[in-house]
Amino acid sequence: MVVLDSASRHKLKALNNQKVISYVEEAISLCKPAKVTVIDDSPQDREYVRQMSIKNGEEKPIKLPGHTVHFDGINDQGRDKANTRYLLSQKVDWGIDINYILKDEGLPEILGLLDGIMEGKEMIVSFYALGPVNSDFTLRAMQITDSFYVTHSAQILYRPGYEEFKRLGGSDDFFFFLHSAGRLINGVTADIDKRRIYIDLEENRVYTVNNQYAGNSVGLKKLAFRLAIHKAQKEGWLAEHMFLMGVHGKPGRSTYFAGAFPSACGKTSTAMFPGQTIVGDDIAYLRKKNGEVRAVNVERGIFGIIQDVNPEDDPLIYEALTTPGEVIFSNVLVKDGIPYWLGMGQEVPAEGENYSGHWYNGKKDDKGNEILYAHKNARYTIGLKELKNADSRLEDREGVPVKAIVYGGRDSDTTVPIVESFSWAHGVFLGATIESETTAATIGKEGVRQHDPMANLDFISVPFADYLANHLKFAEGLREVPSVFAVNYFLKNSRNEYCNGKLDKIIWILWAEGRVHGEYKAVTAPVGRIPRYEDLKELFHAKLGKDYTREEYTEQFTIRIARYLEKMDRMKKAFSRIKLPPALAAELDGQVSRLLDARAKFGSEAPPWLFAD
């Protein structure tokens, strides 16, 4: 390994791990870099990465200390679903649509694209911990890339893992990611048509090439997530697309919630509720420990969508983004060292620099479409500790005790604002039947329902029936089973108006927190347990200073029986490709039976007071 200097050789040798050495030798032989640098956990190496990203032009310093901006190419602005594929040895039918390619075809293709791709470049070898370090939750990962921006992003988002690899004692139980941004023109990836992201579940490794957007290039995010789901399935724990937050009901009480919401359904805004604390906003590992569910945030930072972050709606994030500290902005507009993004509530200059190069009002792309001053998927990368509402147990090696799980969706005409499950199995059923309606910002028709079980459909890396069975089995042996709730912030009335105000959703979560502690009774409806009017009225008055009327309650919590039965028909179709686990089949039958009984008694709709004791 002649391209390795003595310091990097020493760092590799100190790990005493032959698999690591093999991966490095393999990558050097394949990608043919001019230089290889091994990064450890030291502040000096961390600073080297940051400075090299600036020196190479992958990031540019902007006005506030610690702030930089990165631009992906105009055609590299989001996750590439079409070219993200599993590498599998044989054909499979998992009961859901997945994108895969057989290894006989896919491996030669990706290796061919990587052959010689780092000629004249520096290869960076770095190590990370997924989850808090030195913990039962910790998974280890190494990444090899030629992008200092990718390495810098990973350093903000994940815990340092070089010392964790020493603790492996030579084991090969870790994830491996090989990435190259490919040929660059003006600092951005040129060969987008050759962008590929291939995930080898059998070898716990990922190949990703000809891309810079972090969702495709930072392997430890959604790519590692797929590997973790596969690993969790074999080992009996859960890797989930969930936030973790501390909900603070009574003074001095923290109750930890996990929550899974599809995109544009309120996940981040829930995790960032005023007065609550955040452990994580995206991915959680859940394990059973001493008879209870414990969970950690896989990450220690946020790679967040910046559109509509403003002082009124997101004061804590906005403050963190407008004060000195380590932040990477991507695909925003920059003028005189100041970043601008969509919906920030500031006057925007008429020209500046963005992901298209020099931008000016009215600029169009090669198809004649007007280029916005900032991309709708523009991002910020920041450490969670930069936020004033970061929970004190963010780095707890034992994880936080999860007392409740919340599933959310976007549903304009069926689902009540909040419902509590009858049991764990019914809670798994609520998660498995999440639907989300497309919005005006989505390509295609608005209002189309998409089935998104556990808000995880894009990332399920095992047969669907097995994935659901693992959720059901997870409650076995627990002395304290988390309560499960389903929320919907998007219910509309007959006038096509939202039934809820923007701030109302905090009341549903606070009611759920009170239910966990036995402080509120509930109304038993066919679809689960719903709040009583008196309790919500008190919460609205105490927390929002708002008079919550009985008319509002009736409008929001009327059970739209005919609509729910239509949804159950859609679910039967969605599950038709698999043999549904018996417990879930029973829940589906039970839900239909209860709804049919209610329809026979009350008709197509039933106000909540009909079910009160």
Q: Evaluate whether residue 1 is within a structural domain.
A: no
The H or E element spanning position 86 is: strand 84-88
Radius of gyration of the chain (CA): 25
Judgement on whether residues 36 and 112 belong to the same structural domain of the protein: yes
Judgement on whether residues 422 and 333 belong to the same structural domain of the protein: no
The H or E element spanning position 17 is: none
Q: Evaluate whether residue 149 is within a structural domain.
A: yes
Is 80 exceeded by the pLDDT of residue 519?
A: yes
Name the token pair of 221: 């995010």
Give the end of a domain, one of 196, 220, 235: 235
CA distance 97 to 583: 23
Q: Is beta strand 60-61 parallel, antiparallel or unpaired with respect to 67-70?
A: antiparallel
CA distance 14 to 9: 9
534-564 pLDDT, tens per residue?
999 999 999 999 999 999 999 999 999 999 9
Q: Evaluate whether residue 68 is within a structural domain.
A: no
266-290 pLDDT, tens per residue?
888 899 888 999 999 999 999 999 9
What sign does the dihedral 302-187-42-337 (CA atoms) show?
negative
Give 450's pLDDT tier (boundaries 50, 70, 90): very high
* pLDDT at residue 296, as a whole number: 98
319-343 pLDDT, tens per residue?
999 999 999 999 999 999 999 999 9
Which residue blocks in 401-526 are alpha helix, DSSP H? 424-432, 464-473, 505-516
Judgement on whether residues 319 and 293 belong to the same structural domain of the protein: no
Judgement on whether residues 460 and 502 belong to the same structural domain of the protein: yes
DSSP class of residue 20? Answer: H
Judgement on whether residues 476 and 421 belong to the same structural domain of the protein: yes
CA distances from 506 to 93, 148, 166, 429, 451 (A): 41, 40, 44, 24, 25
Q: Evaluate whether residue 119 is within a structural domain.
A: yes
Is 70 exceeded by the pLDDT of residue 172?
A: yes
Question: What does residue 209 show for φ and ψ, rounded to 5 degrees?
Answer: -145, 150
* pLDDT at residue 337, as a whole number: 97
Is 50 exceeded by the pLDDT of residue 423?
A: yes
Judgement on whether residues 400 and 425 belong to the same structural domain of the protein: yes
- The residues, ordered by sequence, that sit 6+ positions from 35 with a Cβ below 8 Å of its Cβ are 3, 5, 121, 122, 123
Is 80 exceeded by the pLDDT of residue 2?
A: no
Which of 543, 256, 259, 252 has the alpha carbon at shortest distance from 391? 256
Contact 453, 229 (CB under 8 A): no
Q: Which bin fits 97, alpha (ψ -120 to 50), beta or left (φ > 0)? A: beta
Catalytic member of 113, 223, 224, 265: 265
CA distance 196 to 220: 16
CA distance 428 to 45: 44
Judgement on whether residues 605 and 526 belong to the same structural domain of the protein: yes
Q: How many residues does the chain have?
A: 613
**CATH number of the domain bearing residue 581:** 3.90.228.20
Determine which of 50-59, 327-336, 446-455 has the lowest per-residue pLDDT on average. 446-455
Give 314's pLDDT tier (boundaries 50, 70, 90): confident
Give 446's pLDDT tier (boundaries 50, 70, 90): low
196-247 pLDDT, tens per residue?
999 999 999 999 999 999 989 999 999 999 999 999 999 999 999 999 999 9
Judgement on whether residues 377 and 420 belong to the same structural domain of the protein: no
**CATH number of the domain bearing residue 197:** 3.40.449.10
Determine which of 496-510, 513-527, 534-548, 557-571 has the lowest per-residue pLDDT on average. 496-510
Q: Evaluate whether residue 72 is within a structural domain.
A: no
In 3-state terms, what secondary structure has residue 571? helix
**CATH number of the domain bearing residue 348:** 2.170.8.10
Which of 91, 86, 84, 94 has the alpha carbon at shortest distance from 467? 94
The H or E element spanning position 561 is: helix 561-574
Average pLDDT of the chain?
95
Judgement on whether residues 259 and 371 belong to the same structural domain of the protein: no
Q: Evaluate whether residue 545 is within a structural domain.
A: yes
For the chain, the helix, strand and coil percentages under 3-state DSSP, each to the nearest 5: 30, 25, 45
Give the end of a domain, one of 327, 360, 386: 386
Q: Evaluate whether residue 71 is within a structural domain.
A: no
Give the end of a domain, one of 364, 386, 408: 386
* pLDDT at residue 269, as a whole number: 86
What is the domain extent for residue 225?
6-56+80-235
Segment 42-70 shows an average pLDDT of 97
- The residues, ordered by sequence, that sit 6+ positions from 518 with a Cβ below 8 Å of its Cβ are none
- The residues, ordered by sequence, that sit 6+ positions from 345 with a Cβ below 8 Å of its Cβ are 310, 311, 312
- Reply yes or no on whether 265 is catalytic: yes
Judgement on whether residues 272 and 346 belong to the same structural domain of the protein: no
361-413 pLDDT, tens per residue?
999 998 899 999 999 999 999 999 999 999 999 999 999 999 999 999 999 99
In the beta sheet, which residues pair with residue 239?
285
Structural domains counted in the chain? 3
- In our burial notation (b when 16+ CB lie closer than 10 A, e otherwise), range 187-213 reads bbbebbebbbbbbbbeebbbbbbbbbb
Share of residues in the chain with pLDDT > 70 (%): 98
* pLDDT at residue 210, as a whole number: 96
What sign does the dihedral 579-584-590-593 (CA atoms) show?
negative
* pLDDT at residue 440, as a whole number: 44
Give 3's pLDDT tier (boundaries 50, 70, 90): confident
Long-range pairs of 55-60 with CB within 8 A, sequence gap ≥ 24: 56/148, 56/187, 57/187, 58/147, 58/148, 58/149, 58/187, 59/148, 59/149, 59/152, 59/328, 60/334
Judgement on whether residues 348 and 201 belong to the same structural domain of the protein: no
Is 80 exceeded by the pLDDT of residue 445?
A: no
* pLDDT at residue 60, as a whole number: 97
Is 60 exceeded by the pLDDT of residue 444?
A: no
> pTM higher than 0.75, yes or no?
yes
- The residues, ordered by sequence, that sit 6+ positions from 365 with a Cβ below 8 Å of its Cβ are 74, 356, 371
Q: Evaluate whether residue 63 is within a structural domain.
A: no
Segment 589-611 shows an average pLDDT of 97
Judgement on whether residues 334 and 266 belong to the same structural domain of the protein: no
Q: Is beta strand 418-420 parallel, antiparallel or unpaired with respect to 483-488?
A: antiparallel
